Structure formats: structure tokens, C-alpha cells
């Protein structure tokens, strides 16, 4: 049984007539790593925002454990069931790394014995020293911020991890470390990992690859640009 | 609650914005505290003053109505008019006989009633103190007599002045004005100046109220001037008996009093003759003076002058009663009760205490009014400023809102966090603002109050200067109005201005301001689309 699936989903951005995604049906199972690949503008990030419940499909539905996520509380869904690693990290710059992680744990509403220790352990796992963990996010490098974003997504132990170019800012060595972590989560903890990427190194570690193909037809240039910015 | 924790952290992490909000809120809080304190002190002063004053009331002829009735514009020669007015006056005066006054004293609202009789007499062998003339004039001096007799009705007005003076009104035009004012009291309570301590017995003892031996007390000035001592006797005569054997009455001085207030009424142009000098007031019992006037009336002869006015040689006297009330409300009830008991519209019920109280509170009241306007302006301007700052800060914070929404924080909680932040900042400002406001509100209120008093006093005195003549001419009622404002003991100081009420009101203002300014944040957050977080990276 799929934990997450797209059922014949179509999507277009408001103000445009052209579909970005058309009749997509994908299934995501626990214990596997999925790679969603495609050229820029193919709708990779759009797909991720649909899966994370930030927007609703124009047609079709997204099912979580066979329930339409549209009928679930989106905030509970986002704060407990899925962990999202955004391409732009979306960390709070005024908070330290560890505070960002703890905040997500707080928001999930789940019980933890020692939030701070748990957060520090996670940050250590993704390769951040304790000193770095106590620095404001603003003072961390892009690679370090990406690790914080990963730690944050893992912090409240969600069943599904959605990641948008999770290794984009990392050197090869760290990229391998992170991918190892994802593998471990999938194999040992039966998590469902969805990686949106255009990196072949990442996609070759995946158990299954979905390729998005940009829809045919010429789109106005401005639309394409905005789509690129999003994707 | 992690919301509070986040809010606190958010405040400390973006100090500059919060300091700005805090400063504006501080200015609002301080100004509001001062404004509210002024309002509060005005209310408190009113309450306290009302508790302290002994509400008394008097029934008198409605001067205003009489003035209108005999306004100069109405037809008829001035002499006929004056004659008519006199007739009317005497009719009305007889309506204020002791019997009638005592009838109204039975009204349920009256807690006590006392009365007094006053008469004007000349001295025989003693001289009146007359500081108005710059020297001492003797009672027999022809200038003094002629000057007083030449004056028309308003000349006794000076006696009513000064709020504290309980000298009765003398309605004139009916006889010669003597140099001494003799007042007979029904009870010691009626002697309000002695009750309040303005006048004090400096030697001897109080006269007896049984009226035996015509005992009296005199002022220390009069005693010194005439070398009188306790036990001396003084002889007074009827000023109306100008021919034949003088009609004299002898009093024994049992005590000498000292008047701690200035012996003359202070307003210029109001005092005429020696009788207006309070040093020339002789106090005795109602019974004694009543016996004298009764005797005088019995032996009086009447004559008609060339204008057809009837004049009597009888000693003129005036009875007045004072009603004592427990509260201001009782006084107001009394006003209604006397109407149903049959008091006509030609009479008016007034309370000198309440009038003087209302005058004394006027500057504070005015200040309170200004404070309210000031408060509204401060709240309006401050509220707009806070709202603007919040609009700008929320634009800065939309990224934060997006992140929080994207990681699953409910909009309600995001909004709560923002509201809590504003609450904390605003309340820190209110606490500081209240302390500062409380510290400065008393001196600020007092100095503003001084300005108000100075302003009101100068207005009053210019009214007096410009209309003083009219006041003198117009009769006792008129002059007492203009005099009241110059002699009013204004509430000059407030002790404490900021009290719990003010603090509670400030907390209310704080909540209001926070809600107004955070409502913008709430609207923004509730309309925020989390998807924007993916397209807006700034």
C-alpha cells in the first residue's frame, strides 16, 4: 500500500492557462527512495509543493494513506506526517540552528524527552558541530544551512521526507553522507524518501525514478521564466 | 507554550524594531497616564470636596426674575419703576417670614434648620471701624450718613460676598443704613464662621441664646478702636428715627472675637460705608434682636415723602434661614419639595456651598476637559503610528510567516505569537510609561492647574472690572455672582493623581492599542498563502 500517491493530478498556476503538470499518477511506498527528475520548468518544485500540501491540485487528488490530503488538516499533515527540505531551506535567520530544529519539534506537537539534546544529536548526524549548532542560521554557510534544513525535516520523525535539491549546496563528500542518511532512513526506519533533483549522482542512489517531461506547446516567455524561478 | 517562548525570542532578536514600537507606546502611555491622572484627580477632588462640604441652602428672592421684570427697557418712568420694584420686594420679603421659612424646614430632605435676623443700626458713643474711607468715620458723621442714604438698593451687596461670610442679605430701599450690622442667631450652629474657625473668640464668652441682658460679641478691631472690654456696654440706636428722642438699645459685651479673614470684602467698588466692614458686625441672639425689632415696630410712626413713598421709623430687619442637608442629593430634593410645598417662582433656592464648590472645581474641571481631548489625540496619533510600524514590520516578516506556515504552524498560532510580541512590548512600555507618568503627573497637573486658576481669576476680575458697577447697582444677587468668582477658594493642588483606576484604564488602552495594531498582522497572516514561500525568497 502506498503511503503517498498522486492520482491523475493536473496543475496550472493561476493566471495561466497552460498546465504545468498533466494527469500525473505516481505512487510512493515506505522504505524506498524516489527521485523525481526533469529539466528546468518540468514542474518538479510544483510537484513537491503539491505533495507537501502547500497548494491543491486543479484536477485529481493527492492521497496520504489513501486519504485525500485535501480532507486532512494541512497544518497537521505538514507538521507531523511529512518533513520538507526546501530548496531555499526556509530557515528562520534570527534563530540558531538548534532553535530552528526545536521550533519544528514544538510545532509538530509531538512529545520528546529532551528536545535540545535530540536536536543537537540530529545536527551532529548531518555534520554540524555543537558550536555551529548554536550559531544563528544567518551566520552559517549555504551548505551548513542545508544541513540544518535536513535536520529540521527529520527532527519530528515524519513518515515521509520530501526534499527539493537536498544536496545542491553540498560538496560531493557531504552529499554522500547525506544520501547515506536518507538510505538508512529508508532501509532501517522504513521511511519514504522523495528527492526532487536534477543531479545524476543523487538519482542513481534512488530506488525508483520518476521523470517529468516539460509539456509541449510554446508558453509565453514570461511564464517560462517565472516557472523556472519556481522550479 | 512555545508561542510565548518564540515571541520573547523574537523580541530580543529584533531589538531595533521593538525598541521603536516600545518608544511610541511609551510616549502614548506616559501622555495617556498624565491625561488620565488629571481627569482622575479632578474626579477625586470633586468627590472629596463634596464629602467635606456641609451642604446648606437658602431661600431667597429670585433677583434675576425681578431684574427682568423691572428691566430698564420696560415702559414707565424710572421712579415709578423703582417704586413698583420696592413694593414687589417688600411683598416678596414678607413671604420669607420666619414662619414660612420654618414651614419649608419640615421637608423630609432637611436635616437641620437654623435662622438669623439682622438689622442695621448706628452707634451711640461708639465709632464704627471704616477702612474703606482710609480713616475712621464716626457714626454721627453727616457725610457717612448721607453717602449711605443716597445709595440705592445695591449698596448692601458687599455683605454677601466672599462665600464664607454668613452675613444675611439686606434688602434695601426701605430705610437708613446704619454703621453697624447686628446679627441675631438662633443657634451656635448658625454661626458658620465660628464653626469653620474663620472667626474665633479671643476673650470672654459667647452671648447667651436666651436673649436675656442683650448680650453680644464684637470684633477685636471694634473693641480696640473704642477701648471696649469684656463686660463693657455699648449703645446702638435706630438710624430711621431721625427726629425726636433717639431710640436706643443697650448691649453687654460678653466676648471679643478675632476674624482671621480680611475684614472687608476684597472686591473693589463693592463696599460702601462702614456697615460693609465685617469688623462692624455685632453678634447676638435671635431672641434679643427679635425683641428689639418688635419693640421698635410697635413704637414706630409712618410718614409719606413727596414721592408718595411710605416710610416708617421702625428698625428694619431681615430674617434669613439656612437649611442643612446631608448630601447634595438631599439639597436637590429639597428644591423640588419646596415647589410642591407652595414656594412660588419668585423665590429661588440656592446653596452657597455648592456654588462655591462648583466654582472651586472649575479650573480642575476645565483641565479635565482638555486632558480628555489631549488623550484622544494622543491615542489617535499613537494608534496610527503603531499601525503603520506594524504594517511595515509585517512586510518584513512575511518570510517568517511563510516559513512558519510551511513547516506546519497554524495561522492562528502564528498570529498569536505576533500578538503576544506586541503585547509584551506594549506592556513594558505601559509599565514604564505609567511609572514616569505617575511621577510627573502631580507636578504637571498642579502647574497646569495654576495656569488655569490664573486664567480664570483674571477673567473673573476683568468681568468684575467691566461689570462691577452694574453688579453694585443690580442688587445683592448680581454682586454676589461676580464676587464669588474673585473670592473663590479654588482647588489649587492635587495630592495624588495616578491611582488604580488610572492604571486599569491604561491597561485597557494597552489592550486596545495592541489589538488595533496587531489586527493588521492578523489580517495579513490569515490571508497569507503558504505557497508564496516557494516563490518569494526575500
Q: Which of B400, B409, B530 sits opposite A107 (nearest CB)?
A: B409
- Helix axes of A142-155 and A115-125: crossing angle, nearest 10 degrees: 130
pLDDT range class, residue A9, cuts 50, 70, 90: very high
Q: Are A2 and A63 in contact (CB under 8 A)?
A: yes
The reply to whether B217 and B322 lie within a common domain is yes
pLDDT range class, residue A97, cuts 50, 70, 90: very high
The reply to whether B390 and B311 lie within a common domain is no
Selected residue of A78, A83, A84, A110 to mutate for chain B interface (largest B Cβ count, 10 A): A78
Least confident among B168-182, B336-350, B358-372: B168-182
Q: What is the pLDDT of residue B267?
A: 39
Positive or negative: CA dihedral B249, B254, B255, B256: positive
The reply to whether B155 and B287 lie within a common domain is yes
Pairing of strands A67-68, B110-124: unpaired
The reply to whether B161 and B223 lie within a common domain is yes
Long-range contacts formed by B73-79: CB under 8 A, 24+ apart: B79/B307
Q: CA-to-CA distance for B92 and B59, rounded, in angstroms?
A: 11
* CB contact A187 to B (< 8 Å): no
Of B233 and A220, which is predicted with more confidence? B233
Q: Is the pLDDT of residue A117 over 70?
A: yes
pLDDT tens digits, A155-172: 999 999 999 988 877 788
Q: What is the pLDDT of residue B76?
A: 56
The nearest alpha carbon in chain B to A102 belongs to: B2
The reply to whether B246 and B292 lie within a common domain is yes
* CB contact A230 to B (< 8 Å): yes
Question: Phi/psi at B534 (nearest 5 deg)?
Answer: -80, -30
List, as one string, the DSSP characters of B497-530: ---HHHHHHHHHHHHHHHHHHHHHHHHHHHT--T
Cβ separation of A75 and B409 shorter than 8 Å? yes
Pairing of strands B317-325, B110-124: antiparallel
pLDDT tens digits, B43-100: 877 777 777 777 888 888 887 777 777 766 555 566 677 777 777 777 777 777 888 8
Q: What is the pLDDT of residue B262?
A: 62
- Helix axes of B352-396 and B500-526: crossing angle, nearest 10 degrees: 30
Q: Are B359 and B350 in contact (CB under 8 A)?
A: no
Chain B residues touching residue A106 (CB < 8 angstroms)? 2, 6
Q: What is the mean pLDDT of residues B186-206?
A: 84
What dihedral do alpha carbons A71, A75, A81, A84 form, nearest 10°? 120
Query: Average model confidence (pLDDT) for chain A?
Result: 87
Q: Which of A76, A90, A106 sits opposite B406 (nearest CB)?
A: A90
Question: How many CA atoms lie less than 13 Å away from B49 in the CB half-sphere?
Answer: 23
Residue bearing cell 456641609: B54
Q: What is the pLDDT of residue B274?
A: 66
The reply to whether B324 and B373 lie within a common domain is no
Closest CA to A136 of A84, A102, A100: A100
Least confident among A198-212, B92-106, B230-244, B363-377: B92-106
Q: Which of B2, B529, B537 sits opposite A106 (nearest CB)?
A: B2
Chain A residues touching residue B407 (CB < 8 angstroms)? 78-79, 84, 90, 103-104, 107, 152
Chain B residues touching residue A78 (CB < 8 angstroms)? 406-408
Q: What is the pLDDT of residue B168?
A: 43
- Helix axes of B352-396 and B398-406: crossing angle, nearest 10 degrees: 70
pLDDT range class, residue A136, cuts 50, 70, 90: very high
Q: What is the pLDDT of residue A50?
A: 92
Q: What is the pLDDT of residue A115?
A: 92
* Nearest-CA distance B530 → chain A (Å): 6
* Nearest-CA distance B384 → chain A (Å): 28
Selected residue of B6, B393, B398, B407 to mutate for chain A interface (largest A Cβ count, 10 A): B407
Pairing of strands B233-237, B110-124: antiparallel
pLDDT range class, residue A36, cuts 50, 70, 90: very high
Give A17: exposed, middle or buried? Use CB within 10 Å, 0-12, 13-18, 19+: exposed
List, as one string, the DSSP characters of A158-186: -SEEEEESTTTTS-HHHHHHHHHHHHHHH
The reply to whether B207 and B241 lie within a common domain is yes
Question: How many CA atoms lie less than 13 Å away from B507 in the CB half-sphere?
Answer: 6
Chain B residues touching residue A45 (CB < 8 angstroms)? 534
Give B318: exposed, middle or buried? Use CB within 10 Å, 0-12, 13-18, 19+: buried
Q: What is the mean pLDDT of residues B148-166?
A: 39
pLDDT range class, residue B502, cuts 50, 70, 90: confident
Q: CA-to-CA distance for B225 and B241, rounded, in angstroms?
A: 26
List, as one string, the DSSP characters of A199-225: -HHHHTT-SEEEEE-PPSSPPPHHHHH
* Nearest-CA distance B410 → chain A (Å): 6
Q: Are B235 and B124 in contact (CB under 8 A)?
A: yes
Q: What is the pLDDT of residue B75?
A: 56
Q: What is the mean pLDDT of residues A9-25?
A: 87
Answer whether residue B388 is part of any domain: yes
Answer whether residue B155 is part of any domain: yes
* Nearest-CA distance B22 → chain A (Å): 20
Q: What is the pLDDT of residue B464?
A: 61
* Nearest-CA distance A52 → chain B (Å): 9
Secondary structure of B382-408 as H, E, C letters: HHHHHHHHHHHHHHHCHHHHHHHHHCC
Q: Is the pLDDT of residue B403 over 60?
A: yes
**Owning domain of residue B294:** 95-345
| Cβ-Cβ contacts under 8 Å for B300 (sequence gap 6 or more) | B312, B313, B314
Chain B residues touching residue A54 (CB < 8 angstroms)? 406, 530-531, 533-534
The nearest alpha carbon in chain B to A80 belongs to: B408
Identify the bridge partners of residue B498 per DSSP, sorted by sequence position.
Answer: none
Q: What is the mean pLDDT of residues A39-50?
A: 87
Hey, which residues 17-56 in chain A have their CB within 8 Å of chain B?
Answer: 45, 49, 52, 54-55
| C-beta neighbour count of B376 within 10 angstroms | 11
Answer whether residue B350 is part of any domain: no
The reply to whether B427 and B520 lie within a common domain is yes
pLDDT range class, residue B275, cuts 50, 70, 90: low
Positive or negative: CA dihedral B152, B153, B154, B160: positive
Residue ending a domain, among B281, B316, B345, is B345
Chain B residues touching residue A226 (CB < 8 angstroms)? 535
Chain A residues touching residue B537 (CB < 8 angstroms)? 88
The reply to whether B139 and B179 lie within a common domain is yes
Q: CA-to-CA distance for A119 and A154, rounded, in angstroms?
A: 10
pLDDT range class, residue B129, cuts 50, 70, 90: confident
A163-189 burial, b at 16+ Cβ within 10 Å, e below that, comes to: bbbbbbbbeeebbebbbebbeebbeee
List, as one string, the DSSP characters of A121-156: HHHHHTT--HHHHTSBGGGS-HHHHHHHHHHHHHHT
Identify the bridge partners of residue B310 per DSSP, sorted by sequence position.
Answer: B304
How many structural domains does chain B have?
2
Give the domain ranges of chain A.
4-230
Q: Is the pLDDT of residue B37 over 80?
A: yes
Q: Which helix (DSSP H) or strand (DSSP E) does residue A72 occupy?
A: none
Reduced to 3 states (helix: H, G, I; strand: E, B; else coil), residue B172 is coil
Reduced to 3 states (helix: H, G, I; strand: E, B; else coil), residue B248 is strand
The reply to whether B410 and B456 lie within a common domain is yes
Residue bearing cell 455648592: B354
Instruction: State the cell numbers at B402.
Output: 511563510
Query: Average model confidence (pLDDT) for chain B?
Result: 77
The reply to whether B370 and B230 lie within a common domain is no
Our measurement of the distance from residue B13's CA atom to the centroid of its chain's CA atoms, rounded to an integer in Å, reads 57
Q: CA-to-CA distance for B517 and B276, rounded, in angstroms?
A: 65
The nearest alpha carbon in chain B to A92 belongs to: B400
Chain A residues touching residue B525 (CB < 8 angstroms)? none
Cβ separation of B13 and A95 shorter than 8 Å? yes
| Cβ-Cβ contacts under 8 Å for B303 (sequence gap 6 or more) | B310, B311, B312, B313
The reply to whether B331 and B401 lie within a common domain is no
pLDDT range class, residue B158, cuts 50, 70, 90: very low
Q: Which CATH class is domain A4-230?
A: alpha beta
Chain A residues touching residue B413 (CB < 8 angstroms)? 107
pLDDT tens digits, B283-303: 999 988 888 888 888 888 877
Answer whether residue B46 is part of any domain: yes
Pairing of strands A67-68, A21-24: unpaired
Answer whether residue B55 is part of any domain: no
Determine the longest span between alpha carbons in chain A, in angstroms. Answer: 55
| C-beta neighbour count of B381 within 10 angstroms | 14
Cβ separation of B404 and A107 shorter than 8 Å? yes
pLDDT range class, residue A28, cuts 50, 70, 90: very high
| C-beta neighbour count of B527 within 10 angstroms | 8
Amino acid at each position: 500500500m502506498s503511503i503517498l500517491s498522486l492520482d491523475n493530478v493536473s496543475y496550472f498556476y493561476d493566471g495561466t492557462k497552460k498546465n504545468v503538470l498533466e494527469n500525473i499518477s505516481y505512487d510512493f511506498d515506505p522504505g524506498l527512495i524516489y527521485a523525481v527528475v526533469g529539466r528546468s520548468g518540468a514542474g518538479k518544485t510544483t510537484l513537491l509543493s503539491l505533495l507537501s500540501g502547500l497548494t491543491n491540485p486543479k484536477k485529481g487528488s493527492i492521497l496520504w494513506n489513501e486519504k485525500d490530503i485535501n480532507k486532512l488538516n494541512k497544518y497537521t499533515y505538514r507538521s507531523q506526517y511529512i518533513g520538507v527540505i526546501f530548496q531555499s531551506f526556509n530557515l528562520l535567520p534570527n534563530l540558531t540552528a538548534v532553535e530552528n530544529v526545536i521550533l519544528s519539534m514544538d510545532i509538530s506537537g509531538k512529545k520528546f524527552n529532551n528536545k535540545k539534546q535530540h536536536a543537537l544529536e540530529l545536527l551532529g548526524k548531518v555534520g554540524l558541530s555543537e558550536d555551529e549548532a548554536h550559531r544563528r542560521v544567518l551566520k552559517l554557510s549555504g551548505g551548513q544551512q542545508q544541513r540544518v534544513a535536513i535536520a529540521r525535516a527529520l527532527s519530528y520523525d515524519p513518515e515521509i521526507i520530501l526534499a527539493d535539491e537536498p544536496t545542491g549546496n553540498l560538496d560531493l563528500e557531504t552529499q554522500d553522507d547525506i544520501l547515506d542518511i536518507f538510505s538508512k532512513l529508508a532501509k532501517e526506519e522504513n521511511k519514504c524518501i522523495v528527492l526532487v533533483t536534477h543531479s545524476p549522482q543523487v538519482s542513481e542512489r534512488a530506488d525508483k525514478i520518476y521523470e517529468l517531461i516539460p509539456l509541449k506547446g510554446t508558453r509565453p516567455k514570461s511564464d517560462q521564466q517565472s516557472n523556472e524561478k519556481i522550479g | 507554550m512555545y508561542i510565548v517562548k518564540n515571541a520573547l525570542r523574537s523580541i530580543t532578536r529584533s531589538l531595533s524594531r521593538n525598541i521603536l514600537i516600545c518608544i511610541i507606546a511609551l510616549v502614548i502611555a506616559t501622555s495617556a497616564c498624565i491625561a488620565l491622572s488629571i481627569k482622575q484627580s479632578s474626579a477625586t477632588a470633586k468627590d472629596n470636596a463634596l464629602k467635606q462640604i456641609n451642604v446648606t441652602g437658602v431661600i431667597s428672592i429670585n433677583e434675576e426674575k425681578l431684574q427682568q421684570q423691572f428691566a430698564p427697557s420696560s415702559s414707565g418712568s424710572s421712579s415709578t419703576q423703582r417704586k413698583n420694584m420696592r413694593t414687589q420686594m417688600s411683598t416678596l420679603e414678607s413671604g420669607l417670614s420666619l414662619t414660612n421659612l420654618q414651614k419649608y424646614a419640615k421637608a423630609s430632605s432637611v436635616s437641620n434648620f437654623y435662622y438669623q435676623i439682622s438689622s442695621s443700626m448706628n452707634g451711640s458713643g461708639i465709632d464704627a471701624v471704616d477702612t474703606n474711607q482710609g480713616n475712621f468715620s464716626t457714626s454721627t458723621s453727616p457725610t457717612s450718613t448721607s453717602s449711605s442714604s443716597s445709595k440705592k438698593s445695591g449698596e448692601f451687596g458687599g455683605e454677601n460676598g466672599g462665600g464664607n461670610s454668613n452675613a444675611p442679605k439686606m434688602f434695601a430701599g426701605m430705610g437708613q443704613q446704619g454703621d453697624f450690622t447686628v446679627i441675631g442667631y438662633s443657634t451656635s450652629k448658625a454661626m458658620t464662621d465660628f464653626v469653620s474657625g474663620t472667626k474665633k473668640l479671643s476673650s470672654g464668652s459667647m452671648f447667651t441664646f436666651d436673649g436675656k441682658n442683650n448680650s453680644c460679641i464684637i470684633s477685636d478691631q471694634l473693641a480696640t478702636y473704642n477701648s471696649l472690654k469684656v463686660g463693657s456696654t455699648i449703645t446702638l440706636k435706630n438710624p430711621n428715627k431721625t427726629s425726636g428722642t433717639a431710640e436706643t438699645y443697650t448691649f453687654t459685651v460678653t466676648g471679643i472675637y478675632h476674624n482671621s479673614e480680611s475684614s472687608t470684602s476684597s472686591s473693589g467698588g463693592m463696599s460702601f460705608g462702614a456697615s460693609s466692614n465685617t469688623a462692624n458686625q455685632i453678634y447676638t441672639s435671635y431672641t434679643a434682636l427679635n425683641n428689639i425689632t418688635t419693640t421698635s415696630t410697635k413704637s414706630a410712626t409712618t410718614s409719606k415723602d413727596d414721592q408718595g413713598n411710605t416710610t416708617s421709623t421702625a428698625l428694619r430687619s431681615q430674617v434669613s434661614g439656612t437649611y442643612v442637608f446631608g448630601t447634595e442629593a438631599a439639597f436637590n430634593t429639597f428644591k423640588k419639595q419646596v415647589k410642591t410645598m407652595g414656594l412660588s417662582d419668585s423665590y429661588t433656592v440656592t446653596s452657597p456651598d455648592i456654588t462655591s464648590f462648583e466654582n472651586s472645581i472649575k479650573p480642575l474641571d476645565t483641565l479635565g476637559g482638555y486632558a480628555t481631548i489631549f488623550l484622544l489625540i494622543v491615542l489617535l496619533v499613537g494608534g496610527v503610528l503603531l499601525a503603520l510600524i506594524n504594517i511595515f514590520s509585517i512586510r518584513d516578516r512575511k518570510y517568517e510567516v511563510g516559513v512558519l506556515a510551511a513547516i506546519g504552524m497554524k495561522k492562528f498560532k502564528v498570529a498569536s505569537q505576533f500578538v503576544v510580541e506586541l503585547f509584551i512590548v506594549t506592556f513594558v512600555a505601559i509599565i514604564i510609561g505609567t511609572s514616569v507618568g505617575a511621577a510627573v503627573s502631580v507636578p504637571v497637573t498642579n502647574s497646569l492647574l495654576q495656569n488655569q486658576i490664573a486664567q480664570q481669576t483674571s477673567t473673573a476680575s476683568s468681568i468684575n472690572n467691566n461689570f462691577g458697577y452694574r453688579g453694585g447697582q443690580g442688587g445683592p444677587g448680581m454682586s454676589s455672582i461676580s464676587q464669588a468668582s474673585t473670592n473663590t477658594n479654588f482647588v489649587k493642588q492635587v495630592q495624588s493623581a495616578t491611582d488604580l483606576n488610572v492604571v486599569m484604564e491604561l491597561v485597557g488602552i494597552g489592550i486596545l492599542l495592541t489589538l488595533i495594531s496587531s489586527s493588521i498582522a492578523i489580517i495579513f497572516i490569515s490571508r497569507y498563502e503558504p505557497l508564496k514561500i516557494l516563490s518569494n525568497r526575500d
